Amino acid sequence: MEVNGRTVSRDAEPRMHLGDFLRDGLQLTGTHLSCEHGVCGACTVLLDGQPARSCTTFAVACEGHAVTTIEGYDDDPAMRLLRPAFTRHHALQCGFCTPGMLATARDIVLRVPAADEARVRLELAGNLCRCTGYQGIVDAILDVLKQQRDTPDPRVERLRDTLRAPRPVTVYRKPAHATPAPTPAPAASASPRTEVVAEVDDGILAKARAKGHAIDASFDVPFPAEQVWALMGDLPTVASCLPGARIDSHDGERVKGSIAIKFGPMSAAFVGAARLERDDALKRAVLRGAGQDSLSKSRAQGNVAYRLESSDAGHTRVQVDMVYALQGPLAQFSRSGLVKDFVRRMVADFGVQVSRRLAGETAPADEAKRSVSLLAILWSVAVDRLRRVFRRA
């Protein structure tokens, strides 16, 4: 790849991130790593002139492309205006976020020449700073935008024209003389290794609830409460009602197992343990569980509380109250309002499966093996939302 105008060639593991490649392989330590799952923006560099998170970009994906880090901005016309503006407006204190902040600021100056303060703040939303309060950073960017409107620098204008022009797609092809990599032997079929994970941390869940990571849902089952309660206490049967869930061991009210989730090209298999706490008299229970995805190292924990309410004609309503906390690369998906719709839809589908089991229907042989597809369910949620909008119209 090309880094700061110089062609470099290094070995890299397939899953090495660009940030580690730059820092450890090339000693370009001006690129700072913090959250390491694409949220804080400290690691932002330019990839073919566009801002990119180096902590979530694979180094091998950059082969044949041009990367610019904080060390490579010396002759950049936009940076020649931004750096003194950051100094004038005291837009940096500890400086840890500054390399990524400058990369984003450059993008704003070139891409949104008419930006006002509200737009600048919106564009900066993906870069976090613990020191400045952002006002100095915003003022510095507005200063450069005003300079460019009052006395345009032709070099900056040329950069803007380049940015607006269609970009060619770079395709890397392996040289004909290269030795093909050996085909790895197929892995032996084995069930995922189950580990005992830490107990649920009530303090973390309390903070998660305060942040809005709590969901209320319900479903109706056309069977008496006693019958539903008996099934809900049978953990292997409950797991069979949820695609992607499997139980590897079961000891009383404790289980160990996994649940597979698929989000488009991303897959995760959370392996962990859970404990069921039941109140037979009130027909209430709490399932407390925690697990970890071995690939992304994301960790999840949560409480799923449910209670049964009898209704007329022998029907039962199951009220569900869930609070969850997610840490690691997959945590970014927990911020979407669609996720709550997804969970409510999954609870409704779970209720359909419970009704099927109570009616004596058996699950298809492959049902427990299928992962929960967030993409398919979120698509269904989006369609439902559109239908509601058109009904109101």
Query: What residue segments make up the domains of the chain, in order of their start?
Result: 2-164, 202-392
Query: Which amino acid does the sequence have at 246?
Result: R
Give the model's confidence band at 187: pLDDT under 50 very low, under 70 low, under 90 confident, else very high.
very low
pLDDT of residue 193: 39
Question: Does the pLDDT at position 369 exceed 50?
Answer: no
Domain 2-164 has CATH 3.40.1410.10: no
Give the model's confidence band at 304: pLDDT under 50 very low, under 70 low, under 90 confident, else very high.
confident
Give the model's confidence band at 133: pLDDT under 50 very low, under 70 low, under 90 confident, else very high.
confident
Query: Which amino acid does the sequence have at 210?
Result: A
User: Is pLDDT larger for residue 387 or for residue 177?
Assistant: 387
Cβ atoms within 10 A of the Cβ of 220, count? 14
- Report, as an integer, the average pLDDT of 25-32: 94
Lowest mean per-residue pLDDT among 173-187, 233-247, 318-332: 173-187
What does the alpha-carbon distance between residue 35 and residue 328 come to, in Å, rounded to a whole number? 9
Q: How many helices (H) and strands (E) does the chain have?
A: 11, 13
- Report, as an integer, the average pLDDT of 258-273: 70
CA 41, distance to chain mean position in Å, is: 14
Question: Does the pLDDT at position 382 exceed 80?
Answer: no
Q: Which residues contact 258 (CB under 8 A, 6 or more apart)?
A: 192, 194, 245, 246, 248, 269, 270, 271, 272, 291
List 289's β-bridge partners, or say none. Answer: 274, 302
Lowest mean per-residue pLDDT among 18-22, 89-93, 173-177, 271-275: 173-177
User: Is pLDDT larger for residue 204 or for residue 383?
Assistant: 204
pLDDT of residue 32: 95
- Report, as an integer, the average pLDDT of 374-386: 53
- Report, as an integer, the average pLDDT of 2-23: 94
pLDDT of residue 196: 39
Q: Counting beta carbons within 10 angstroms of the beta carbon of residue 312, is it exposed (0 to 12), middle (13 to 18) or buried (19 or more)?
A: exposed
- The C-alpha torsion from 287 through 292 and 296 to 297, rounded to 10°, is 130
Q: Could you please state the CATH topology (level 3) that the domain comprising 202-392 is classified under.
A: Alpha-D-Glucose-1,6-Bisphosphate; Chain A, domain 4 (3.30.530)
Helix (H) or strand (E) holding 137: helix 135-150
CB 23 within 8 A of CB 99: no
User: Is pLDDT larger for residue 2 or for residue 357?
Assistant: 2
Percent of the chain with pLDDT over 90: 35
Question: Does the pLDDT at position 157 exceed 80?
Answer: yes
- Pairing of β 6-7 and β 44-47: unpaired
What does the alpha-carbon distance between residue 244 and residue 390 come to, in Å, rounded to a whole number? 34
Cβ atoms within 10 A of the Cβ of 139, count? 17
CB 67 within 8 A of CB 94: no
What does the alpha-carbon distance between residue 245 and residue 247 come to, in Å, rounded to a whole number? 7
- Report, as an integer, the average pLDDT of 212-236: 84
Residue for token pair 């399932």: 287
Helix (H) or strand (E) holding 147: helix 135-150
Give the model's confidence band at 213: pLDDT under 50 very low, under 70 low, under 90 confident, else very high.
confident
What does the alpha-carbon distance between residue 186 and residue 179 come to, in Å, rounded to a whole number? 21
List 17's β-bridge partners, or say none. Answer: 58
Residue-averaged pLDDT of the chain: 80
Give the model's confidence band at 70: pLDDT under 50 very low, under 70 low, under 90 confident, else very high.
very high
Give the model's confidence band at 17: pLDDT under 50 very low, under 70 low, under 90 confident, else very high.
very high
CB 285 within 8 A of CB 279: yes
pLDDT of residue 368: 45
